[in-house]
Amino acid sequence: MSVFTPLERQELEVFLAPYGLGRLKDFQGIAEGSENSNFFVSLEGGEFVLTLVERGPSHDLPFFIDLLDVLHDADLPVPFALRTEGGEALRELAGKPALLQPRLPGKHVQQPNAHHCAEVGNLLARLHLATRERVLERKSDRGLDWMLREGPALALQLDDTALPLLRDALKEIGEVKERFLALPRANLHADLFKDNALFDGPHFSGLIDFYNACSGPMLYDLAICLNDWCSDEQGHLDAPLARALLGAYCARRPFTAAEAELWPAALRIACVRFWLSRLIAANAFAGQDVLIHDPYVFQARLAHRQKVEVGLPFAL
């Protein structure tokens, strides 16, 4: 389970009263999270999710609240911070920053098909189009500088197969960094994995967990997303799934020549980002009752991205 801060019913009732959403019917901790403590909260006024933010500097929270307001106003299926009757969005509970958000319908998809991937590509393009004219600035706390800083020390724990793979990828990041960061920008979700998307039947019904959201190159967001949605068990790119995702994305936002050129590097950088964060989490939470994602998955994906056969559809 990953509820780091358990709650008593009475303290929750006191916290919920100012929203004016009626009496508390039920609540339960959500096991699936890995970063924050989340609870499904059932009130007379509807179904909600309460998040106690466990990680990251709390001065970033207004950014997440503002971004979700922008995306909600653009009709994207995202949660957003509900306000109390006094207009407060960001509150505190059990000593942690706390947000109450609507519970979105739908379920996670385990085995996506081309239709799911097209829905994801379409949604990601809408997110970028909704923010690129007026980007809300936030530097990722797991961006390229972080990879270059953390990577060399983490490489020391790797075996003889993994070590050169990571070392070469870090070298490439150093070489392409400036050109990569100069690509067309918007706000990024930066963690659009299957476990952050909800589907109601065939329809994309919810994009959740914005705590990695930042500003940056749109191509990077696409690479993060595609590495998760369109990889097979061994880490190969699944070409039909990748084409479905990319096709739906570029129907809304065509790619530039510079993006097409840096696409293979973007896929590799996106592998390094999660390989490193998973290695850090595996070291930090070893032996604890916390959901730990397997770092090796991204080692394997990086190994299979040395040659990228699915290029970006790009019209000269």
Residues that bind ligand LJ64HWYM (CB under 6 A): 35, 142, 191, 193, 212, 274, 277-278, 281, 293
Tell me which of ligand LJ64HWYM, ligand ADP, none is bound by residue 293, counting a contact when its beta carbon lies within the kind-specific cut-off of 5 to 8 angstroms. ligand LJ64HWYM
| Strands (E) located in the chain | 24-29, 37-43, 46-52, 91-93, 96-102, 185-188, 197-200, 203-207, 214-217
Picked from ligand ADP, ligand LJ64HWYM, none, the partner binding residue 104 (CB below 5 to 8 A depending on kind) is ligand ADP
Count of CB atoms situated within 10 Å of the CB of 4: 16
CA 181 – CA 265 distance, rounded (Å): 12
User: Judged by CB, which is closer to ligand LJ64HWYM: 278, or 305?
Assistant: 278
Both structure tokens of 109: 């998809």
Residue of 315, 136, 173, 305 lying closest to 226 (CA atoms): 305
Q: Which is nearer to ligand LJ64HWYM, 17 or 303 (CB)?
A: 303
User: Are the beta carbons of 258 and 219 closer than 8 angstroms?
Assistant: no
Q: Does 49 bind ligand ADP (CB under 6 A)?
A: yes
Q: Which is nearer to ligand LJ64HWYM, 131 or 277 (CB)?
A: 277
Contact segment (CB under 6 A) with ligand ADP among 33-41, 136-144, 238-246, 253-261 equals: 33-41
| Choice between 38 and 277, CB closer to ligand ADP | 38
Closest contact distance (angstroms) between CB of 101 and ligand ADP is 5
Q: Does 38 bind ligand ADP (CB under 6 A)?
A: yes
- Calculate the alpha carbon distances from 109 to 21, 120, 175, 223, 252 in Å: 31, 11, 36, 19, 23
**According to CB under 6 A, which one of 3, 173, 208, 262 is a site residue for ligand ADP?**
208
